Amino acid sequence: MRKSFFSGLVTIVLTGGALVGTTVPAHADTPTTLYVRQNPPANCSDAYPGTLAQPFCSIGAAAAVVTAGQTVDIGGGVYMERVTVAASGTPQQPIVFTTNANSNSATLSGATAGFVIDGQHDVVLQNIRVVGSGDVPAVDVRNSSGVSIQGGVYALNRPATSPVIRFAGVTGSSVSKTNVSGLTSTSGVTVDAASSDVDIVGTTVQGYANYALADHTVGVRIDGPRNSYVGGRVDGFTDAAVALGPAAVDTVVANNLITGGGGHGVHNNGATGTAIANNTIKDRCRDGIRVDGASSGVSVQNNVLAVNGYFSQGYCDPAFLDGVEIGVYGGAVGRTVVDYNNAHHYYNDSPQIYAWNTRMSLAAFRAASGQAVHDRETGQAPESYDSANSAAPGYPDLDRTGQQRIDDPTVPNTGAGPVTYADRGAVETIRTPVVLFNVALNLEARSVTIDASASTPGLAPIASYEFGFGDNSVVTQAGPIASHTYTRPGRYTLSIKVVGTDGRSTTRTEQVSVLQQTGTVALRALSNRRYVSYETGSGLQPNQTEPVASAQFDLADAGDGKIALFSRAVGRYVAISELDNSTLTAKSILVDTREAFTLIRNSDGTISLQAPITAQYVTADPSGTVAMSASSPTINTWEKFFQVKPSEANTSLKAKVNSRYVSADGAGTKPLIASAPTVNLWERFDVVQLSDGHVGLLARVNNKFVSADGAGSKPLIANAPTASTWERFDMVNNSDGTISLRAAINGKFVSADGAGSKPLIANGPAISTWEKFTLG
């Protein structure tokens, strides 16, 4: 399909998959459609007239009788045929071979499968699929004109001596929106020197990047005048993605995406008047664009090239170490225009990314050639915005996706020509809003807060934010922050849509777990008696003397007997890092295998956490400076933790009977007694939630547990290194706001004996004033 920069246009318009044009009705007694069906109930026969009721069995039978203005409708199935089209249509009444453009489309298959059009004109192949052996072209068009290949797939499935699609002596024809692939020793599509005005539009050509049995392969080879390859994509091929021979006069190669392969991106070998414009070319093993031979009048403008000629790609031949992004050689030197391109080799470490007969830097290229004044050596995408030359030969008004050129108001217009805001490369970047957000969970409130303040606008300012919370609740508002409370625990999909004033929008989704909270704890490591804390960027560490905000965690039901640990400070779940499969972080909002732990209740009243994903235990180095990890195969001291409610850490016990505080007298060397008028170190305790449901009192002054000594027959004393039977108590909440402690060893209540004048002892049969204390 010729673009606006050609004269003598041939225009093909597709609407709904059908050819549209000015059509003269067929004669009344001539059917407009011939049908080919292989479905047995259809009772097909090549002797039939080709009606829907009596269809042909083979495409060849229809091709033998089809005339101008008729369409051959091919039903789904596999046809082992090579079809010769022996008749011609007219521009107003072409002959059309068509099938459904879906998975039920017809397929021609076999060693010689395909179409031959020799000496005909005005023939259309629409949505056909051909899978051939590669010994002959899938489509062989010779000495013809007005041939249009629209859609479909054409592939050769093994190394061959033939191109997939071949044009020889052809004029005024086209290939549009077609997929071409195959292992071939020649090309995907070839247009020979006797062919002219052949347009290859929006067509993808795929081949092996560097296949040893298919040396010197080319994706698209053009050898005749006034042909074009526009808006396509080429992957692979060992010689070149696009190759232009000496007779390819006034050829246009524009708007194409050309990616990894062993050969050049675009190789102009002696062709004159070539326009190479607005292509994006990357990851080729040799030159991105090479102009050589007797080439003259060649224009290389508005292209974006990156990492071409770089050797580290696995498919590159080590012999080619001299590739550049843009290279001009031989007779083309002094007769080629290079300007308004972006080139980037490899992290700017290889400055010799241009060539003017020899490899050199961009600055040296400018000095030697007088070209590339507006070229940029950059791999940054914004450098291609609003900076192309719209007056360059071959410049396409639309990008390869059909998008109009758009002026980005945030970018200065540094281009040239009538449209100073066109982008370089194959795609016009239409910036839509970028959705960036933070999710804060609150398990206690069963709520989520989404903050999308970090989102950035596209071409226009942000007009609104739409928040979907995954339970059919949607909020649309002008502000970027929204909160929501869930009625039940679960896994929900959040959706955040940011809309600009121009109507362009971007949506991001994120899954979140809102689990059932089962308690709030601080974890005190047995290895150093310090509280585990999470600080953003530093991991979990046992480094706090108090359960400060960063050391408070919710326990949550993760299902299947597992628990999740939720950092209240950052609103995230603790997880096993994917980087080393052991380090603990608190970055997850979704509970999966890395966030689920098995809680082990140890006989000494401590707990341990096992990561089911690795079967290793969480360990806490006593230094307090090493990030915690799930890396221990067994449970020892470093793998044990006390659970303490944050409100019951560093607390005191005030006896109701005398309003005095319980003291670990003599720094813990003497029995406890309610004798202190104020709270100091001797009067401070942690109430430890033991693994069996009891509590223990850990004296801060010596880090020892309070023991009901002598199985409760002696006064309480803080002298036990661990919580055994004598160190376990039940906490009873009284109706007056006080608490009482019942020793597990004898079932008696702790009493401030002698109205507080004597040491505490677990001998109270019932709760009276002497057995009541205020915690806090």
Residue pair 203/226 in contact (Cβ under 8 Å)? The answer is no
Pairing of strands 240-244, 218-222: parallel
Residue 7 has pLDDT above 50, yes or no: no
Per mean pLDDT, which range of 527-541, 666-680, 723-737 is the poorest?
Answer: 527-541
Q: Is the dihedral of CA 391, 397, 403, 405 positive or negative?
A: positive
- Domain ranges in the chain? 1-24+34-204, 207-430, 438-511, 516-644, 650-775
Residue 385 has pLDDT above 90, yes or no: yes
* Residue of 143, 191, 146, 145 whose CA lies nearest to 165: 191
Q: What six digits make up the tokens of 169?
A: 């002596």
Q: What confidence score (pLDDT) does residue 8 get?
A: 31
Residue 32 has pLDDT above 90, yes or no: yes
Instruction: Name residues whose C-beta falls within 8 Å of residue 576's C-beta, 6 or more positions apart in sequence.
Output: 582, 583, 584, 594, 595, 611, 613, 614, 630
* Mean pLDDT on 402-424: 95
Question: What single DSSP character describes residue 366?
Answer: H
Could you read off the pLDDT of 709-722 as tens digits, one per residue? 999 999 999 999 99
Q: What confidence score (pLDDT) does residue 132 get?
A: 84
Instruction: Give the pLDDT band of residue 10 (cuts 50, 70, 90).
Output: very low
Could you read off the pLDDT of 111-131 as tens digits, one per residue? 899 999 999 999 999 999 999
Q: What confidence score (pLDDT) does residue 20 get?
A: 34
Residue 213 has pLDDT above 50, yes or no: no
Residue 94 has pLDDT above 80, yes or no: yes
Beta bridge partners of 674: 662
Could you read off the pLDDT of 748-767 as tens digits, one per residue? 999 998 999 999 999 999 99
DSSP characters for 99-147? Answer: --SSTT-EEEEETT-EEEEES-EEEEEES-EEEE-SSS-SEEEES-EEE
* Residue of 62, 67, 61, 59 whose CA lies nearest to 87: 67
Burial of 448 (0-12, 13-18, 19+ CB in 10 A): buried
Q: What confidence score (pLDDT) does residue 9 get?
A: 29
* Mean pLDDT on 186-215: 85
DSSP characters for 583-622? Answer: BEEEEESS-SGGG-BEEEE-TTS-EEEEETTTTEEEE--T
Could you read off the pLDDT of 420-449 as tens digits, one per residue? 999 999 999 999 999 999 999 999 999 999
Distance between CA 449 and CA 442 in Å, rounded?
8
Could you read off the pLDDT of 267-294 as tens digits, one per residue? 999 999 999 999 999 999 999 999 999 9
Q: Is the dihedral of CA 418, 420, 421, 426 positive or negative?
A: positive
Q: Establish whether domains 516-644 and 650-775 are of one fold.
A: yes
Residue pair 228/271 in contact (Cβ under 8 Å)? The answer is no
Q: What confidence score (pLDDT) does residue 316 get?
A: 81
Q: What confidence score (pLDDT) does residue 65 get?
A: 96
Instruction: Give the pLDDT band of residue 536 (cuts 50, 70, 90).
Output: confident
Distance between CA 285 and CA 263 in Å, rounded?
6
Over pLDDT 70: what percentage of the chain?
A: 93
The mean pLDDT value of the chain amounts to 91
Q: What confidence score (pLDDT) does residue 581 get?
A: 86
Pairing of strands 82-85, 773-775: unpaired
Q: What confidence score (pLDDT) does residue 6 get?
A: 30
Amino acid symbol at 656: K
Residue 15 has pLDDT above 60, yes or no: no
Q: Which CATH architecture describes the domain 438-511?
A: Sandwich (2.60)
Residue pair 746/758 in contact (Cβ under 8 Å)? The answer is no
Per mean pLDDT, which range of 45-59, 289-303, 317-331, 489-503 is the poorest?
Answer: 317-331
Distance between CA 383 and CA 344 in Å, rounded?
11
Residue pair 642/526 in contact (Cβ under 8 Å)? The answer is yes
Q: What confidence score (pLDDT) does residue 578 get?
A: 87
Q: What confidence score (pLDDT) does residue 156 get?
A: 85
Could you tell me the CA-to-CA distances from 720 to 637, 681, 691, 727 in Å, in that order? Answer: 16, 18, 17, 8
Q: For the chain, how are helix, strand and coil distributed in percent, rounded to 5?
A: 5, 40, 50
Q: What is the pTM of this model?
A: 0.73
Q: What confidence score (pLDDT) does residue 185 get?
A: 60
End-to-end CA distance of the chain: give it in Å, rounded: 84
Element (H, E) at 640: none
Exposure letters 150-159 (e unless 16+ CB within 10 A, then b): bbbbbbbeeb
Instruction: Name residues whose C-beta falls within 8 Å of residue 245's C-beta, 6 or more positions apart in sequence.
Output: 193, 221, 222, 223, 269, 270, 271
Residue 26 has pLDDT above 60, yes or no: no
Q: What confidence score (pLDDT) does residue 30 get?
A: 75
Could you read off the pLDDT of 461-480 as tens digits, one per residue? 999 999 999 999 999 999 99
Per mean pLDDT, which range of 205-209, 551-555, 582-586, 638-642 is the poorest?
Answer: 205-209
Instruction: Give the pLDDT band of residue 320 (cuts 50, 70, 90).
Output: low
- 650-775: CATH number: 2.80.10.50
Distance between CA 392 and CA 395 in Å, rounded?
5
Could you read off the pLDDT of 666-683 as tens digits, one per residue? 999 999 999 999 999 999
* Mean pLDDT on 575-581: 89
Instruction: Give the pLDDT band of residue 620 (cuts 50, 70, 90).
Output: very high
Q: What confidence score (pLDDT) does residue 17 get?
A: 34
* More confident: 210 or 525: 525
Residue pair 429/500 in contact (Cβ under 8 Å)? The answer is no
Report the CATH fold assignment for 516-644.
Trefoil (Acidic Fibroblast Growth Factor, subunit A) (2.80.10)
* More confident: 536 or 681: 681
Distance between CA 671 and CA 745 in Å, rounded?
18
Q: What confidence score (pLDDT) does residue 628 get?
A: 94
